[in-house]
Chains A and B, each alone.
Chain A
Amino acid sequence: MQMISDFLAIGGYSGFIWTAYGAVAVVLVGLLIVSLRKLRTTSAEVAALEANSPRRRRNNTDNKDATS
């Protein structure tokens, strides 16, 4: 227990160090989560549109989109 509290208190500057690491974790993990969520919603959107579209022309649309 003493060891843990010593560790957490590292050298009297613990507040600065832990805040820095906490901020890094929040920003980098947050960005990852936001990006993953965006990928999921966009995939769902494309899937819905595909289901809606009367004709399936997958390869065709792919190429057209890329060069547009």
Chain B
Amino acid sequence: MIQQYANPARFNRLAATLMPWFAWPAGVLIAVGLYFALFNSPPDYQQGDTVRIMYVHVPSAWMALFVYTSMAISSAVGLIWKHPLAHLSAQAAAPIGACFTFVCLLTGSLWGKPMWGTWWVWDARLTSVLILFFLYLGFMALQNAFDDPARGERSAAILAIIGFINVPIIKFSVDWWNTLHQPASVVKISGPAIHSSMLIPLFVMGVGFTLYFCALLLLRMKTLMLARRARGMSMAQLHQQASE
């Protein structure tokens, strides 16, 4: 049953239907989010205008974790049920997740310097996010490390699943250990500690980033599928030439 979605033609039809529903709202929401973030939201009572960095830093951090989680799930599905699209989806997601993690680290650094007084510290939160970035890079490297793509796929999938242990560590690092990074502001038991005038633009950006990821994921999966087809076809042509 599950195999029927593996048909590339089916996937392409589905992707083509979904794409406009991701791409356009992503553009609109990010534009609206940027307008609020830069022009129409208050400065913070303590941090002044640097709080504006939050509107890109926090959604990037959410995406870094979300994309990794999706990658770990796809990898598990790929290993257990051998669904052909699963590894493809993990492979397509990895560079996007790596970019979000990089942006998260960079904007965090640019926020840390003026507020905390340092670009970087080795506290549990910052270090675990840096590890997440290396997990993404490791996943991409491992995938291409073997001559046999199927072996690379499987090895990378195992790394993705093992590395998933880092995701709850990142989330709860600020509660489990003393860190320079402050505890969670939005996703916490007692409800968000952010005023609604800042929370709304933050959510708009968050949804915008998520849709951007979905659109880009479909696009990259389609590309990978085409690349696979090109590989298969050129192999077939080589065989044909050899047998003629």
Contacts and interface: CB of A to CB of B under 8 A. Distances in A.
Interface string B73-109: 0000000000010000000000110010011001100
Given A28-B99, A65-B229, A16 B237 contact: no
A66 interface: yes
Interface in A18-68: 19-21, 23-24, 27-28, 31-32, 35-36, 38-39, 42-43, 45-46, 49-50, 52-54, 59, 61-68
A39 B219 contact: yes
A35 B223 contact: yes
Nearest to B53: A20
B38 A13 contact: no
B48 interface: yes
B49 interface: yes
Q: Interface extent on B, as a size class?
A: 35 or more
A65 B8 contact: yes
Given A13-B114, A16-B113, A20-B53, A42 B7 contact: no
A25 B146 CA distance: 34
B230 A24 contact: no
Interface centre among A24, A35, A53 (most CB of B within 10 A): A24
A10 B114 CA distance: 13
Contacts of A19: 110
15 contacts: A10-B52, A11-B43, A11-B48, A16-B50, A16-B111, A16-B113, A20-B111, A23-B110, A35-B220, A38-B223, A42-B223, A45-B227, A59-B9, A61-B232, A67-B84
Given A23-B106, A24-B107, A39-B222, 20 more contacts: A16-B113, A19-B110, A20-B57, A20-B107, A23-B103, A31-B216, A32-B216, A39-B220, A39-B226, A42-B227, A43-B226, A45-B230, A46-B229, A46-B230, A46-B233, A61-B233, A63-B7, A65-B225, A65-B229, A68-B228
Interface of A: 7, 10-13, 16-17, 19-21, 23-24, 27-28, 31-32, 35-36, 38-39, 42-43, 45-46, 49-50, 52-54, 59, 61-68
